[in-house]
Structure 1
């Protein structure tokens, strides 16, 4: 049995004649909106995925319009508390959606402290960083693959790299030191959000180790960045006792990009281009149930497909991205599972 999962940043998906954020003008006119929904619809048909996690959905109706006239039109889907002003996550699934949860608040207060050697002779006193909410609510959805088997899908959109600047200063007027501080503020927020996601994942695994987890999203960092690695989890130290290693492996996720790269002679995967830099901001992580080295694995990654022909490198091309086309590539992962009759939950080791 093959299932395919995908992540899709739709870039400002809202109906025509509506503003977004603090704009006072419509983001799309009627013609632009029609072109955008047509483009997303065609892209979804090409991707042919069973489960899609979306980012940057502003209105439920806009996503419905993208599905009109397709087999996906009647599929279950859920949009995470759309406001029409700010982007949220969403999920579309060929399989029934059993339960959904939108986690808006970080599951802890982050306390910062430094190495004692760096603060001596003063005492290193923890300082609470007053961040309470995710930039966009984390969407958790339980999907029922068959009568005996369900999976948890988590859709993410972490804080962007756009610098957080004081009022009255923008990217065009800020000095380089001000821009540096703004970028670090964004990094701090994105880093704490990634820790929050890691807490959510560990809590879910502790509740039920047998349930596979898929993480779909725009992480706004390269796959090798600390923020991404925090979510994936570090491989257990090889000198740990075998039973402790197995226990810790259940909390480690696999980046589908890495799995594909190991199978490929060359690796050209990217989903975003900024100032000539090719980056993999959009990723799909899977729980240890699908790790090649897991003797109790319940499935395997067949391949990873990128839909990024529309992503333009404006440093080398004179082409300009049409307003209706998204600025991110889409990622689709095909997974091989046992046939439904034999697909039952199992402990991952």
Structure 2
């Protein structure tokens, strides 16, 4: 807390704090609608449990801004978050509906305690997409959403919510499998080997197709964000389910700091990179500890996964921040004071509480002004 001296009295100034979260809801769809298949319809009891889990998360964490992924029933979500005090809600896209009740292609949404000055659905910049060699009909698998809010002490801030293409192999656009030749068909073992080889080969092609889609989405969005930054100089947040590790080559450029133009008199480039909120939190903790006990080891626990595939844990959900939230940058106005991964339902699930929660761990960070 900072005390401002006056001739009359001391006025206490408390740094402004805002809590931001990203939450993959995992098939948030209100019955009688179904997700992906006609059998996937929640019973009334299951739907109540799913809503209760979200209610408890909002009550415990009390985020001021939260980005959502895997939204099918936007109206139900808007009503639920409004009851939690998040009175501003935005969704710009709609899921596909087959046979009047089967939902596919979920969308992203955002809820906030701060009013939206602008709400935009991010479209693919076609000339740049074609310049990358992508087909003219290339689009985001789920359209990113941007809102602009005004945060006390921080000012205008552009917040992007994304759900990048998953790693699931994309095989729909591949040619049909090759059939065994007549000679192979008479030899069962050879035919089986050919079938297995074709299956493996198509799986690899499908995984690479998904990587191309995911990486292209991230690159095109990053370019759009940089254009917006040049125009406005607004602070930026990028949150969502990235469906990949941030260090993976197809996403690593989102936090790239490889370009250096200081020798050319363009040191302002340093204001553009994005940084993982978790890393900024670790830096803040390290700096605080160094001031108190510089010789002691920093007691930071290992980062917790946000998703598990079998026994393998991965961090797929992120909140990235512009340099406005990095204390190491000379014009920053805020910093990350806390970071939390809500993973109890993944590592120690209880059926009554968690059976219809989510397969991801929501991530939450607290931002504090540096005034």
Q: Contact conserved, 2:335 with 2:370, CA < 8 A, in 1? A: no
Structure 2 equivalent of residue 258 of structure 1: 279
Distance 2:369 2:311 in 1: 38
Alpha-carbon deviations, 1:278-306, whole Å to 9, x = none?
11100000001112211111111112111
Provide Cα deviations, 1:159-211, integer angstroms capped at 9, x if missing partner. 00111124889xxx9822222111111011001111111111111111022x1
Give the secondary structure class of the aligned counterpart of 1:134.
coil
In the alignment, structure 1 residue 243 sits paired with structure 2 residue 269? no
Q: Which residue of 1 aligns with 2:293?
A: none
Larger fraction in helix? 2
1:283 correspondence with 2:318 = yes
Give the Cα–Cα distance (whole angstroms) in 2 for the partners of residues 155 and 184 of structure 1. Answer: 24
Asked if the contact 1:13/1:62 (under 8 Å) is kept, the reply is no
Task: Give the aligned partner of residue 199 of structure 2.
Answer: 175
- Provide the rounded CA distance (Å) in 2 between the counterparts of 1:321 and 1:275: 21
**Aligned residues of 2:324 and 2:334 also touching (Cα < 8 A):** yes
TM-fit CA distance, 1:130:
5.0
**CA distance 1:68–1:203, change in 2 (3 Å):** closer
* Alignment of structure 1 residues 121-136 onto 2, 5 Å: 127-130=133-136, 132-136=138-142
CA contact (8 A) 1:134 1:193 kept: yes
Tell me if 1:306 matches 2:335: no
User: Separation in 2 of the partners of 1:66 and 1:16?
Assistant: 15
Aligned to 1:53: 67
For the pair 1:2 / 2:17, whether they are aligned, the reply is yes
Q: Does 1:109 align with 2:109?
A: no
Which of 57, 66, 74 does residue 80 from structure 2 map onto?
66
**Structure 1 residues 318 and 78: CA distance shift in structure 2, 3 A:** closer
The one-character-per-residue Cα deviations of 1:247-302 (angstroms, maximum 9, x if unpaired) are 21122011112223444533232111113221110000000111221111111111
Mapping of residues 29-108 of structure 1, within 5 Å: 29-67=43-81, 69-72=83-86, 75-83=87-95, 85=103, 86-107=105-126, 108=128
SS in 1 for 2:238: strand
Q: How many residues align?
A: 313
Task: State the partner residue of 2:357.
Answer: 325
Distance 2:351 2:165 in 1: 28
Contact 2:21 2:365 in 1 (8 A): yes
For residues 163 and 128 of structure 1, the distance between their equivalents in structure 2, rounded to whole angstroms, comes to 18
Aligned CA distance change for structure 1 residues 188 and 90 (closer, same or farther; 3 Å): same
Q: Which residue of 2 aligns with 1:222?
A: 245
Q: Structure 1 residue 146: deviation in Å?
A: 4.5
Q: CA deviation at 1:153?
A: 0.4
SS in structure 1 at match of 2:265:
helix
Q: Deviations over 1:106-135 (max 9, x none)?
A: 4522446xxxxxxxxxxxxxx544552101
Deviates more, 1:153-162 or 1:197-206: 197-206
Return the alpha-carbon distance in structure 2 between the equivalents of residues 242 and 266 of structure 1: 40
Structure 1 residues 312 and 178, CA gap change in structure 2 (3 angstroms)? farther
User: Normalising by the residue count of structure 2, what TM-score does the alignment of the two structures yield?
Assistant: 0.77
**Helix, strand or coil: the match of 2:345?**
coil
CA distance in structure 2 between the aligned counterparts of 1:33 and 1:206, rounded to whole angstroms: 44
Moved more, 154-163 or 267-276: 267-276
- Match 1:12 to one of 27, 30, 44: 27
Aligned counterparts of 1:91 and 1:207: Cα–Cα separation in 2: 23
Question: 1:320, 1:197 → 2: CA distance?
Answer: 40
Q: Retained in 2: the 8 A contact 1:251–1:287?
A: yes
CA pair 148-267 structure 1, distance change in 2 beyond 3 A:
closer
Contact 2:276 2:318 in 1 (8 A): yes
In structure 2, do the counterparts of structure 1 residues 90 and 48 end up closer, same or farther at CA, with 3 Å as the change threshold?
A: same
RMSD: 2.8
